[in-house]
Chain A
Amino acid sequence: MLNRIAKVSLFAAALAAAGGTWAQKSVELLNVSYDPTRELYQEFNPEFARYWKEKTGQSVTINQSHGGSGKQARGVIEGLQADVVTLALAYDIDEIGALSGKIPDNWQQRLPHNSAPYTSTIVFLVRKGNPKRITDWDDLVKPGISVITPNPKTSGGARWNYLAAWGYALKHNDGNQTAAQEFVGKLFRNVAVLDSGARGSTNTFVQRGVGDVLLAWENEAFLAVNELGPESFEIVVPSLSILAEPPVTVVDGVVSKRGTAEVAQAYLEYLYSPAGQRIAAKNYYRPRTPEHADPEDSARFPDLELFTIDEVFGGWQKAQQEHFGDGGFFDQIYEVR
C-alpha cells in the first residue's frame, strides 16, 4: 500500500514538474491564515487575481487554509506548503522561522507597518440590552459574570485578549505586576468555556448561548453582530485596549522552491493598496490608511485608547516567554483555578 501511494505521489510530482512549463500562464498560491480572516480573503483574493491578470496576463488562483493561528503555524512548520502566511500574531511567524528556517529573522521589517497591513483590537460582545451592565474590564472580574474567551495556549486572539486585560490592570495599578496577575487570574476564574480558537468561542457564545460576555477581535464581533442579528447582540468598547497587529509575510523557503516569489510578494503588497485597504475596512479590520476606506466603513470603528505590545510587554518574544511559556503567568493563573 505504502509503495502504491509513494508511486502515486511520484506520478503526481512528475505531472507537477511537467506542468511547470505552463507556469507563465497560471499560478497557484496557498495563503495559510487564522480563523477570523475567512471573509476578508474570500473578498480580497478575486480582487487580487483580477489586478494580477491585468498587470501581468497571468491567472492566479489563491487557495485558503484557516484555523487557529498557532495550529496553522505548526502546519507550516510540519511542511504545509504555504506561499504566504497571514497569521494572528508575530510570534507565530517567528516560530515558523525559528523551527523551519523558511522565513528570515528580519521578516517583520520587509513590509510597512511591522508587516501588518490592517489592525484590530479587542472588544466585548454582550447580549442585547447588556443585561449584566458590562462597560469595562473591571466588570469582567465581578463574581457571577460568565466570560467566554479562547485558550491563550492555542489561540492568537486569546493571547491578545489576555494581554489587553493585563495591560488595563497594569495601568490601573500603577504598573504593579502582582496586581495585574491577580486581576487577570480573577478574570480567567470567570471563564466558562475555553475553546481552542476564536471562531469556536464566537460560536459558543452566539450559537450555543453560553456566557454573558465574549472577549473577541473587533472584526469578529462586528461579523457576529451582522451575520447573526443585531437584534440579539451588541458591542461594548472598553476604555482601553490593545492594538492587535496581525502580520503577513512571504514564506521564502516555499516560494523559492515553487517559483512564486514575485506573485506572493505582490499579493501581500496589494493588501496595502487602496483596494486592499478598502476591502479590509469593509470586513471590519482597521485599515492602515483610513483615507482609502469607504467613509461609512471607517465610521464603524469607535475611538478608544490603544496600547501596543511593544510599549507594555516589550514585544512578542518577551510576552510569549513570560506569559504563555511553560510555567509562565498563564500557567500560574490557571493552576490557582
Chain B
Amino acid sequence: MSDVLAAPGGVLYGTRFERNAATRESAWFKWVAITVALAFFALFLLLPLVTVFVEAFRKGIDTYLTALSEPEAWSAIRLTLLTAAIAVPANLIFGVAAAWCITKFEFPGKQLLITFIDLPFSVSPVIAGLIYVLLFGAQGWLGPWLAEHDIKIIFAVPGIVLATIFVTFPFIARELIPVMQAQGREEEEAAIVLGASGWQTFWHVTLPNIKWGLLYGVILCNARAMGEFGAVSVVSGHIRGQTNTMPLHVEILYNEYNFAAAFAVASLLALLALVTLAIKSWVERKAALRHIG
C-alpha cells in the first residue's frame, strides 16, 4: 500500500491521469476540491497543533523547560515510553503471528479470530479499562488471589501496560492481513518447494513483502500506545509520580490551572508523534530509492 504511494512511477501515473479527457475534472472543481481539503486540514489538524505549541511557550522558554524537568513530568514521560516499549513489541509478535495464521492457513474458528482481533476497535476504551478492573481489581475475579500473593496489577504499571496492549491490539494485525492476503501464498509455496525451511521462508520471503505494512502498523500502534487516555485512566489510580502517563499528566496539570505546564507536556507528546511520522517518511523514502537502484 505505501509502496504504491512511494513508487517512483506515481508522478507519471498522476500526470497521465490528468491528461486523459475521460478522467480529467474541470479546473474549478479541481481548485474547489483542493481548497476545501486544505482548509479542512488547516482548521482541524494544523491549527490545534499550532495552538498546543503556542500555549506551551506562552510563558516563555523557561517555564517550558521547568515544566518538563519536574520529577512528576519525568516520571510520566518514562512511564509512557516504558508502556510503549512493552506494548508495541508484544503486539508486533502477536500481529505478525495472527496475520500469518489467518492469511496462510485454513482452520476452523478463523472468522472468530478475525472478529476478536477487531474487538478492541469496537469497544470503548473505558470499557477496556473496566474489564481489567473487573478481572484484577480487589473485588474482581482474580483479586483475592492476587492480593494473597501480593501481586499488584490494577493501579500499578502492569495494569497500565495490559490496558494499553488491549487497545492497541488490532493495529498491526489489521494492517498486515490485507497486505498478506493480496500477496497470496504462491511465493511461500515456491520457497518451500525449493527447500527453504519455515523460518527461512518467513525471513527471506514473507517479511520483505510485508515490511511496509508492518512498519505502518508499528507506527500507528506506537502512536496510540503513547497517547491512550481512556483505558489507562480507569486502571491508573492517578498516583502522581508513579502511575501517571503523559496524557493523564496533561489532564492533571490542566485541572490544576497549570496551563503552560499542561501544554508543555502536551507539546512533547505531539513532538513524539511528529518524530514517529518523520521516521516513517524517512524510511519510506529510503526504501523507494533502493527500489529504483
Contact residues of A with B, CB < 8 Å?
A: 1, 5-6, 8-10, 12-13, 16-17, 30, 35, 38-39, 63-67, 75, 77-81, 99-100, 199-200, 203, 223, 227-228
Which listed residue, B136, B137, B151, touches A13 by the CB 8 Å rule? Answer: B151
Which listed residue, A5, A13, A67, touches B161 by the CB 8 Å rule? Answer: A5
Closest to B133 in A: A78
Stretch from B21-29, B223-231, B250-258, B280-288 at the A interface: B250-258
**25 A-B residue contacts at CB 8 Å?**
A5-B153, A5-B162, A9-B151, A9-B152, A9-B158, A10-B151, A13-B152, A30-B239, A35-B255, A38-B255, A63-B242, A64-B240, A65-B240, A75-B237, A77-B138, A78-B137, A78-B138, A79-B137, A79-B138, A79-B147, A79-B152, A80-B154, A81-B152, A100-B139, A203-B254
Closest to A63 in B: B239
CB-defined contacts of A78 to chain B, threshold 8 Å: 133, 137-140, 143, 154-155
CB-defined contacts of A81 to chain B, threshold 8 Å: 152, 155
Main SS class of interface, A? helix
- Binary interface profile of B, 161-178, with partner A (CB < 8 Å = 1, else 0)? 110010000000000000
Closest to A13 in B: B150
Closest to A75 in B: B237
* Alpha-carbon distance A38/B251, docked complex (angstroms): 13
* B78: Cβ under 8 A from any A Cβ: no
Contact A67 B152 (CB under 8 A): no
Ranked 6 nearest A-B pairs via Cβ: A79-B138, A78-B137, A227-B257, A80-B155, A9-B151, A65-B238
* Alpha-carbon distance A8/B158, docked complex (angstroms): 8
CB-defined contacts of B152 to chain A, threshold 8 Å: 9, 12-13, 79, 81
Contact A9 B153 (CB under 8 A): yes
CB-defined contacts of A75 to chain B, threshold 8 Å: 155, 237
Contact B240 A63 (CB under 8 A): yes
Which listed residue, B139, B147, B151, B165, touches A1 by the CB 8 Å rule? Answer: B165
